Structure 1
């Protein structure tokens, strides 16, 4: 069931026998440490290979005080920085046993075991923990991959979960779905993704932009229900509408549906039949499923634009799409997608300039685009990225911050407010980078001065606890063994002189 590449990190002092037990060694490669200091170094470097961690709550650690970290503090650190790795806590304390177990679980230990315990029980817990982790990781990755395959790029777990739940409802009922979100957030793309990922993906889909038809009720009725000859001026022959032609209908911006049309749609949804515009005798069976979108919220829709009865009949389920400023994790993915799309659509143009697709954006530009608010959301980002690409390729240069500012000014996005935001964002990025650089330099200096004594380094830096030092060691990927070697090397060189 498990292979030797899977590893378990444990505290050697109290779990020595586990590393030699054949029941476990047949399943895992076990790596042991006598202190959290070295364990954290290993975990930071090899986290992708680690399947689970077993830690003793009572673990006192190394004889060197600077390398001590009690089991609970260790668990808290792991939960904050390596939450993807399940941790099994064990303890042999008799006093306050309940508190010890609760402390462990509240700090997200996967399980708590009292000593003594059976090896088979530990093995069972490890198998469940690793299987659960693997299934969750695989499922999450599969969700994002599937969404991307069907044209939706996101790493936002909440949005992905909403979409999957809506697909279940869409598959198993005749209820409609309403997708709420600001302009440009990708609502219609999500609607088409739901269609493609549902069991109705082979059904005909049609899309009506309600705002385009709202000024002419007759045309709206005709597009949706169809009409008979003579139904209104210009109806020179019979016509089929979307309700008859399409099994899936996307109604974009439903706040623009006129009241008269809402009434006809409500009848279709409730009675499962409708009449063509101009006909009151020949019923047409209604089998369509509806996905609607709106830039307004529920209160705005029901108070100003829609009959409540129609709205609640239409809304079987709903999705709220976060604006791009609230899903910044998607921005780098979208930039990469738009860049790839541009290169694929313009192969001759792009091949003449000798700039690789993956190298065209400087990282500072990506950082800026992530921090920008994007009031027009994905639509605005795509248009802006496309213009940046054309500008860069024509000038045979990578896209820099100066190019970015030029484009902002050119498009008149650089109003006084936008200019202030540009400068503020740029300042924030620069300050953040300088601060990180200074913090890293100060940390390395403190570690060298303290001979890698974490307690002393903590005091030098003015932190309240060792936890902060361990956090920055991980954040800046500092190898303590390398620093120790550097210290020893400097000592040797000093002795020789």
Structure 2
């Protein structure tokens, strides 16, 4: 398929300049037209679609600022480059503050113009692709696309819906693979920032000596290899959301610098001397127990409280087993475009009873495997399931001491078991805490303490059972 050449409009009251730019850019393969002043240029912009406008600043009737204003108000996908004399660069800088992409000064070099035009058109394509991607992501990651009907997930949905309309910082906690980034995206794309960037970064995946530059940017020459100025992710996410995944891995020095940014809403590039204001919403996530990290001195308490304004705890998959069939169906549709096939009873029992140490991420991998190994004309059987799932036994009680290949968080794992036993005891006793305590062989006082520890305190049904 042949791609149409980019259309460029040159607006200049000097005929020689229009001819020079027209010939040079036409030789580069662009479709070039010209206007002799700003008024004619605006008329041509109203009649045709142009990817790029190169306009002189000083012109009779309507100057370059008038052309720039028209483009900014009516043609958001069109890029503007200003032409100015060397003595009038202050005006060009002012035009860039208003929204022009760049400026060139007379007299200029041909290679300079070619490079600026090439970079400007690449920026336009990137912006257009980003807008399209954001529209697709908004449809894909909206609040209504979170999957699950369990009580634990309904609590998550309620919190997502409440915090999406605010600008407070959010901390998402949960084991690896529970969908923390999916929830962060749901918050962003359900908020008034949905039209701006969602920028994720894994704080544990970037070397410490590069992390500051990645977050805050750097100036040209600020260190070896800094051959040009670079915007950090805080600037890239301006107006949108910055998702700090694995925030518990942030080195101590970066914790201090992040705290200052959250307090002042300003950054300073590495090697820079000026503070830059940033309007960014922060959503952080971790699979660590940050309270324990604070108590052990590995995470700053003041930063924890800055991040932990609203907290969303994602349950592990083993605590929301009723959602497993829904998730299986979702992933089958994702990989095959068809609903989940029939699954025989034994295979389904393995899927429901498995402990899922890798949570939703592991489930997705298993479903992808099943789409390859399962038969197209019959029910899904155990033959398509991985060996470790079949060997894990039919009940979680048979594999309590199994350790996944990638290890586990012992404290969180034991806490999950304790919480699940408490909930099952309450369920068996109809929510009567005193009877649940007797069932578990602990005192009522101990029962109250354990329930409070997991946020399972009194409600209308259990408040009077003392």
In the superposition, the TM-score normalised over structure 2's length comes to 0.51
Residues 167 and 273 from structure 1, CA distance in 2 versus in 1: closer, same or farther, beyond 3 angstroms? farther
User: Which residues in structure 2 correspond to 1:342-357 (within 5 Å)?
Assistant: 342-344=335-337, 357=339
Q: Is the 8 A contact 1:163 1:319 kept in 2?
A: no
Separation in structure 2 between the aligned mates of residue 199 and residue 157 of structure 1, nearest angstrom: 27
| Aligned partner of 2:287 among 272, 295, 304 | 295
Q: 1:364 Cα deviation (Å)?
A: 3.2
Q: Deviations for 1:361-412, whole angstroms, at most 9, x for unmatched residues? A: 2243223211111000001011011112211137x542113x15xx433xxx
Tell me which structure has the larger Cα radius of gyration.
Answer: 1
- In the other structure, the counterpart of 1:389 is 371
- In the other structure, the counterpart of 1:341 is 334
| Aligned partner of 1:223 among 214, 224, 227 | 214
Residues 425 and 270 from structure 1, CA distance in 2 versus in 1: closer, same or farther, beyond 3 angstroms? closer
| Aligned partner of 2:226 among 222, 235, 239 | 235
Q: Deviations for 1:299-342, whole angstroms, at most 9, x for unmatched residues? A: 23323532111111121111110100000111000011111111
Name the SS of the counterpart of 1:305 in structure 2. Answer: coil
Greater Cα offset, 176-185 or 309-318: 309-318
| Aligned partner of 2:347 among 365, 373, 379 | 365
- In the other structure, the counterpart of 1:422 is 393
- In the other structure, the counterpart of 1:278 is 271
Q: 1:146 Cα deviation (Å)?
A: 11
User: Which of the two has greater helix per residue?
Assistant: 1
| Aligned partner of 1:261 among 247, 254, 261 | 254
Name the SS of the counterpart of 2:244 in structure 1. Answer: strand
Name the SS of the counterpart of 1:292 in structure 2. Answer: strand
Is residue 197 of structure 2 the alignment partner of residue 197 of structure 1? no
Residues 358 and 217 from structure 1, CA distance in 2 versus in 1: closer, same or farther, beyond 3 angstroms? closer
Is residue 379 of structure 2 the alignment partner of residue 398 of structure 1? yes
Q: 1:221 Cα deviation (Å)?
A: 0.8
| Aligned partner of 1:181 among 174, 179, 187 | 174
- In the other structure, the counterpart of 2:204 is 211
Separation in structure 1 between the aligned mates of residue 302 and residue 143 of structure 2, nearest angstrom: 37
Name the SS of the counterpart of 1:199 in structure 2. Answer: coil
Instruction: Could you tell me which runs of 5 or more consecutive residues in structure 1 were left unpaired when the two chains were aligned.
Output: 1-144, 345-355, 428-497
Residues 208 and 146 from structure 1, CA distance in 2 versus in 1: closer, same or farther, beyond 3 angstroms? closer
Separation in structure 2 between the aligned mates of residue 317 and residue 399 of structure 1, nearest angstrom: 42
Name the SS of the counterpart of 2:303 in structure 1. Answer: helix
- In the other structure, the counterpart of 2:147 is 153
Q: 1:359 Cα deviation (Å)?
A: 3.2
Residues 341 and 245 from structure 1, CA distance in 2 versus in 1: closer, same or farther, beyond 3 angstroms? same
Q: Is the 8 A contact 2:293 2:299 kept in 1?
A: yes
Name the SS of the counterpart of 2:322 in structure 1. Answer: helix
| Aligned partner of 1:249 among 242, 245, 253 | 242
Separation in structure 1 between the aligned mates of residue 288 and residue 215 of structure 2, nearest angstrom: 22
Separation in structure 2 between the aligned mates of residue 296 and residue 426 of structure 1, nearest angstrom: 25
Separation in structure 1 between the aligned mates of residue 307 and residue 194 of structure 2, nearest angstrom: 21
Greater Cα offset, 300-309 or 226-235: 300-309
Is residue 308 of structure 2 the alignment partner of residue 315 of structure 1? yes
Separation in structure 2 between the aligned mates of residue 272 and residue 159 of structure 1, nearest angstrom: 33
